[in-house]
């Protein structure tokens, strides 16, 4: 069996290596348009920032190492320009010599990845404008920012690459402006959670421009000028990071089924509409496990798993790719942001019923040095099925989100979160892990033990028929409180019940929600029939997202 693979990196290289481990007799040939076949493209921003010092560390495999260990032939600087399904051959152009030739295949794997989206903006092809998708892109950026004249960079786009590059350019002591055309950075998050990251970006010295699309990039004698809404900036370099699109032109030209973005339709075995052609990685249209709908998820984790499964099927096994739930993580200066499952924006768009809670537990016990709070948002169905989670914090973020991702993929509920047995020792967690706490809060909401209100409900609160009750200490209250609220510390509540009106709704809040819940349970049992709500996330959340 002769297997030709178009593209290396995550999807193509993992397919080839796994296939060799399963089939020693297969002839395996990789065509790679660039000069590197297997490298950590996710680490490119960190080399630019100096975190990964040696460029050689980015290389996972070379053509020589793949041949020496796996007898996989790799032809770099070789672009596949066409696929002939009738003759089962591909047309190749040698980018060094210009020679064109054809190569036959028994089975073909398309793993060309994705290309950077170039927005239809005047000036995007100026020499000062760049993207980051390859090692050569990285080298070009390094050359530009190493020049003494390079002082200011405008990053266009607030997704993964935009955030990572903004941080790493700041590591190089450059002035950085990040322009995002929508109202928030980091699209996997909901707006209020993304607002926490925006605060961290500003604290890291990045100037943010949100909600104003870039209008044009104009050349100047020294650098260029970026016009964005009613603002403009002079800069030495512009990085376009507005997203990626699948490189599906080979599939289109050969008549394979594709979606509107040229993502290639595949079945659970990762076969395309041609049974002798597979597609893996950023180019493959896959299924979201929670909605059942087709989606594109250009991340290295799914690409590697797809490569493994495609290789198994090439070797005659029967393996299925189960789909994705969208787990991802990003470092933003001193904070980590991670999420999994569906966010609130998607739940609303899909008209999926949901509930939510916010919480701020410490990543480990407070008495152990270095304790810091997490900010978590848990989404779940009215029946208790876990739908999604977003989390921000200094440490322990991805650990909690990974656990919740596993529960989602197993179809688990908030009660499963509450009952999970997780590792505990003071340096690492609490006896009641933040994941358990999330389950506790969600259970309390679903069981009617803790009716809640959210930050966005405050504006619509009827001040005539409701009372805001702050149950923090007087010292905390004096440092900042919601306008119009009354302060009765939770420990004094039982003795001061007469100060609380019995004919109005009571909206309780504390710093993070715990004391509010305790006060709520006191009042709900002392004032049966009265509507008593706890403000989910407490005053701290309001501060983080800029409500107060």
Give the containing element (helix H, strand E) for 231.
strand 231-235
Q: Would you say 111 and 304 are in contact if contact means Cβ atoms under 8 Å apart?
A: no
Residues 6+ apart with CB under 8 A from 42: 300
Catalytic residue among 42, 150, 224, 423: 42
The Cα–Cα gap between 545 and 157 comes to: 21
281: tokens are 């990685």
Q: Report angle CA 98, 99, 103 to the nearest 5 degrees.
A: 130
* Packing angle, helices 9-22 and 63-70, rounded to 10: 20
Q: List Cα–Cα distances, 520 to 342, 382, 448, 528, in angstroms.
A: 30, 21, 12, 11
Q: Would you say 538 and 490 are in contact if contact means Cβ atoms under 8 Å apart?
A: no
Q: Per DSSP, what are the bridge partners of residue 339?
A: 328, 390
The Cα–Cα gap between 123 and 129 comes to: 8
The Cα–Cα gap between 473 and 230 comes to: 45
DSSP one-letter string for 305-316: HHHHHHHHHHTT
DSSP one-letter string for 265-280: E--TT-B-SSTTEEE-
Q: Would you say 53 and 64 are in contact if contact means Cβ atoms under 8 Å apart?
A: no
- Give the 3-state DSSP-derived string for 461-499, with helices as H, strands as E and coil as C: CCCCCEEEEECCCHHHHHHCCCCCCEECCHHHCHHHHHH
| Nearest CA among 380, 403, 269 for reference residue 323 | 269
Question: β-strand 386-393 against 452-453: which pairing, if any?
Answer: unpaired
Give the containing element (helix H, strand E) for 32.
none
DSSP one-letter string for 184-197: -SSTTS-HHHHHHH
Q: Is 224 a catalytic residue?
A: no
Catalytic residues: 42
């Amino acid at each position: 069996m002769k297997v030709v693979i178009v593209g290396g990196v995550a999807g193509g290289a993992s397919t080839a290596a796994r296939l060799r481990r399963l089939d020693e007799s297969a002839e395996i040939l990789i065509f790679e348009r660039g000069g590197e076949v297997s490298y950590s493209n996710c680490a490119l921003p960190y080399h630019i920032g100096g975190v990964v010092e040696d460029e050689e560390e980015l290389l996972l495999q070379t053509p020589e190492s793949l041949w020496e260990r796996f007898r996989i032939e790799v032809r770099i600087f070789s672009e596949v320009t066409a696929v002939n399904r009738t003759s089962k051959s591909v047309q190749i152009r040698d980018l060094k010599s210009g020679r064109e030739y054809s190569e036959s295949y028994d089975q073909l794997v398309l793993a060309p990845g994705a290309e950077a989206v170039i927005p239809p903006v005047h000036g995007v092809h100026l020499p000062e404008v760049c993207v980051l998708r390859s090692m050569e892109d990285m080298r070009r950026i390094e050359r530009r920012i190493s020049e003494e004249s390079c002082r200011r960079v405008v990053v266009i786009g607030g997704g993964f690459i935009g955030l990572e590059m903004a941080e790493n350019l700041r590591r190089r002591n450059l002035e950085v402006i990040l322009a995002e055309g929508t109202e928030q950075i980091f699209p996997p998050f909901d707006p209020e959670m993304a607002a926490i990251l925006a605060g961290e970006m500003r604290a890291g010295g990045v100037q943010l421009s949100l909600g104003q699309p870039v209008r044009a990039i104009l050349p100047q004698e020294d650098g260029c000028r970026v016009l964005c809404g009613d603002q403009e900036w002079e800069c030495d370099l512009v990085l376009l990071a507005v997203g990626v699109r699948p490189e599906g032109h080979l599939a289109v030209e050969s008549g394979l089924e594709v979606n509107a973005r040229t993502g290639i339709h595949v079945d659970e075995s990762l076969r395309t509409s041609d049974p002798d052609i597979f597609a893996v990685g950023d180019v493959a249209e896959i299924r979201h496990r929670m909605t059942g709908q087709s989606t594109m998820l250009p991340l290295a984790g799914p690409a590697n798993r797809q490569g493994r499964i495609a290789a198994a099927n090439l070797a005659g096994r029967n393996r299925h790719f189960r789909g994705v739930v969208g787990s991802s993580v990003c470092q933003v200066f001193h904070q980590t942001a991670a999420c999994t499952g569906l966010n609130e924006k998607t739940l609303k768009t899909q008209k999926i019923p949901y509930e939510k809670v916010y919480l701020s537990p410490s990543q480990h016990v407070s008495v152990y040095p270095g304790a810091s709070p997490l900010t978590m948002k848990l989404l779940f169905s009215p029946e208790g099925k876990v739908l999604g989670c977003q989390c921000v914090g200094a440490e322990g973020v991805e650990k909690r989100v990974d656990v919740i991702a596993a529960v989602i993929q197993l179809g688990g509920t908030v009660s499963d979160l509450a009952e999970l047995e997780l590792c505990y020792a003071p340096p690492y967690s609490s006896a009641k892990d933040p994941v358990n706490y999330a389950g506790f809060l969600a259970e309390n909401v679903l069981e009617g033990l803790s009716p809640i209100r959210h930050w966005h409900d405050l504006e619509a609160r009827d001040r005539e028929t409701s009372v805001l009750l702050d149950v923090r200490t007087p010292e905390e209250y004096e440092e900042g409180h919601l306008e119009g609220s009354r302060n009765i510390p939770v420990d004094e509540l039982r003795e001061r019940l007469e100060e609380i009106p019995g004919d109005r709704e009571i909206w309780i809040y504390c710093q993070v929600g715990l004391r509010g819940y305790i006060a709520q349970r006191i009042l709900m049992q002392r004032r049966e029939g009265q509507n008593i709500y706890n403000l989910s996330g407490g005053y701290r959340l309001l501060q983080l997202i800029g409500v107060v």
